[in-house]
Amino acid sequence: MCGRFTLAPASGQLFGTRFGLAEDVEVTPRWNIAPSTSIPVVRREDGSNRADFMHWGLVPRWAKSPADGARMINARAETLTEKRTFSPLLESHRCLVPADGFYEWQAREGAPKQPWFFHQPDDAVFSFAGLWTTWQPDPDVEPLESVTIITREPNDVVAPVHRRMPAILAQEDEEPWLDAGTGVEEALSLLSPVPDDRLAAVPVSTRVNSVSNDGPELLQPVSPDDAARESRLF
């Protein structure tokens, strides 16, 4: 799964340039992005890329409450076409979720789970493949746009830590993913494993376990023993 990620781009990595936006957007650096918060999303509208902020946790049109989105922060790539929630969105509601890293937790016998941070070796911004929708059960209710991050089987870098990972798009595949002219089967073929040399893995502090902690210090490498001691404090 993907339950936490980071987006704290360096000063030179402007969103407008990186994602071909008609207008740039201001992104507040965040090192511990959690579900049920507002996150930047890139989508295609009228032939142009635009960035909007959406609720992380897909709220289907048929949902009774936005709280239903808590169960849909992720969507499995292998079953997208089988699920009534996600299948209709594959044709025209594909999007990018910009990130520059993500966390996964490694189970350890007799010890707390160890968080690991995964990022590109050059710390560049990349994108997760996502799906979005609009929830508005009644005309008098303010519409809510929400997004889910697609996951897939892990590559060899993530596999020792977790059995799932977010679907990371190659940069050259981002435009085809956004393009409604790209058929569903072709779009699904873009969700291929990210090459192992595009990801680096670092064990980090269990401070990331708390959503109240958010700062660059979360990315500092730690030893598993140090993390175990920290887990008794945080």
> Is residue 62 very low, low, confident or very high in pLDDT (cuts 50, 70, 90)?
confident
Cα Rg, the chain, nearest whole Å: 18
CATH topology of domain 5-231: hypothetical protein yedk fold (3.90.1680)
Q: Which residues contact 94 (CB under 8 A, 6 or more apart)?
A: 43, 129, 130, 131, 177, 178, 180, 187
> Is residue 219 very low, low, confident or very high in pLDDT (cuts 50, 70, 90)?
very high
Average pLDDT of 201-222?
96
Which one is predicted more confidently, 137 or 74? 74
Q: What is the pTM of this model?
A: 0.93
Catalytic residue among 2, 95, 145, 174: 2
Q: Assess whether pLDDT exceeds 50 at residue 234.
A: no
Residue % of the chain over a pLDDT of 90: 75
Q: Is 104 a catalytic residue?
A: yes
Catalytic residue among 23, 95, 104, 142: 104
Which one is predicted more confidently, 230 or 74? 74
Q: Is 185 a catalytic residue?
A: no
Write the DSSP symbol of residue 178.
H
